[in-house]
Amino acid sequence: MPRAALSPDAVVDIALRLVDEDSPTALTLSAVAGRAGVATPSLYKHVRNLAELRDLMSARIMNDIADRVGRAVLGRSADEAIRALMLAWRAYAQDHPHRYAVLVHRPAPRTAAAGQRLLDIVSATLRAYGMEDSAAVHATRCLRAALHGFAVLEAEGAFGLPEKLEESYELLIHMVIAGLRSPR
């Protein structure tokens, strides 16, 4: 890529391709600069440091997840929407395991807007269960823990028993829906 074509978005594109093709541990400014065909100091015109690049990547990844989840839940409600949300989230993590692994999960200013988009989708989905305010926050935390935990364990090959993962995930969906339906 010629130097003139570099921008923060282009640097993120290059970094995401690097992670996709190699691994999350391959992500260094030097490696990104090499892929861009520039010297590492040239990247500092576009990203301050590796931490900022990770935040920019995370914002992009969260937006991608929000896009996929948003499309999945559109026109659905309650159980059907939760099921679609959970399947879409898992599909993203399966399709992009290395991207999912570099996702920064702590709130940061750069990821706030993307995180809010995802939160808004989840919150809208939970309203069908009468959940708002703090009840929605608690349910969102539980849903996120279930989704993220399964995705990470699956990506790391941590489910070593012979039972099918599809069946386990279907059970997880059932458990989440049952929990959302139960009176509090």
Domain map (residue ranges) of the chain = 3-43, 55-181
Within the chain, which residues score under 70 in pLDDT?
1-4, 107, 183-184
What is the CATH code for 55-181?
1.10.357.10
DSSP three-state, residue 48: coil
Does 55-181 match 3-43 at the fold level?
Answer: no
pLDDT at 168: 97
pLDDT at 184: 67
pLDDT at 1: 41
**CA–CA dist 181, 86 (Å, integer):** 16
pLDDT at 181: 92
**CA–CA dist 78, 97 (Å, integer):** 28
What is the CATH code for 3-43?
1.10.10
Strand intervals (E) in 42-153: none
pTM equals 0.91
Return the ∠ at Cα 69 (arms to 55 and 7), rounded to 5°: 35
Residue with token string 């509090």:
184
